[in-house]
Amino acid sequence: MSNKLSDPGIYFRCNFCYSNLNAEQALVKTKIACPHCHRRVTVPKPSLGRGHLMKDWEVVRLLGQGSMGEVYEVVDSAGHKGAMKIVHQDCMSEDETRYLQEEAQILLKLRHKNLVRVEEAGFDDLQYFFVQDLVEGRNVDLTLKKYGALKLVEALRICRDVASAMDYLWREGKIIHRDIKPENIMLSREGVVKLMDLGIGLTQEQIQKEGFGAGTPYYMSPEMIQKPSACDFRSDIYSLGISLVEMLTTQKPYMAAGREAVFDKILTENVNLQQLNCSRETKDFVARMINRNVKKRPSSWSECVQFFETLIKLENQGSSRKEHQYVYDLAEDKTFSIQYYLTLFAFFIFLFTLIYFLF
């Protein structure tokens, strides 16, 4: 793996306001106050330091860490920015590594308005990585943590756009995402929904041949847990249904201490949909999406898109509000607002003037 001398500092982003931060190595795993939003954030320990080279991409800062890998902001020699995910080697078998290399060629050809475009995918020595467009915004997971539960129509529209992207993926290459969750759904600052993290997706043929299971435990379908080789697009429909419940409640439906305990709940317990503040039609459709019986789920992604459209009209009841107003807009966040900084500056000027004349 290529590498140039890395900057010894830790460069990362605030989990709450997405501001760029840096800290000394000695502060790893300790909490510091973000100077922008004043929230307490933990200084991470990235695998790759600032300046590390992965082929033609240079690491700028860590954007996030997960159970399967890490995401970094990177830049190429022409100054083009991207988001690079590296997948931990211990999360993949030798055969799955080979399949991901084949899948990389498919990912490079995919283009859809609700998909984050993949710029490059492959291996640098033994390290699998893929680079996608860097989308300015905040993912749904962080939006839930910052603002609480989403409005019903907002959540339905986000899910409709994700379903549209997945319909395209299934028609183009029979691709199963395997990790649909709020953290992988980005809301751009222009108000566009973008599905991320296609780098661990496999085609149905690959999964049926080798039976590779993958994903984040809380959102994994029963068949992905028990028999991955039986999975098709309906496994992703299940994950989107679980994500929708979380969008409306801020709670993961299946919470437990440990992976196996989570799996046990998924396989034996039903989600309480009565807590959802929505119509009976919406509850019934969510119940279909997360039904443990694969055959009782929607028969296609196209059906999901159409049903979401119907539910949006039903729940919206003729509202004339523009669609983008239901989607989180980064420009409206006070930590990114010019007006916020001008107001703050004016306040300090007033305060200093008042102190000067008083004393």
Asked whether 158 and 348 are in contact (CB, 8 A), the reply is no
Asked whether 133 and 121 are in contact (CB, 8 A), the reply is no
Asked whether 199 and 108 are in contact (CB, 8 A), the reply is no
> In which residue are the tokens 């989990």 written?
15
Asked whether 134 and 286 are in contact (CB, 8 A), the reply is no
Mark whether 179 is an active-site residue. yes
In this structure, what token pair is assigned to residue 263? 């799996």
Phi and psi, residue 71, nearest 5°: -120, 130
- Total Cβ atoms within 10 A of residue 261: 13
Task: Spell out where the chain has E strands.
Answer: 10-13, 20-23, 31-33, 40-42, 53-54, 57-65, 69-75, 81-87, 118-124, 127-133, 137-139, 175-176, 185-188, 193-195, 202-203
Q: Which of 179, 197, 236, 333 is catalytic?
A: 179
| Residue positions annotated with a catalytic role | 179
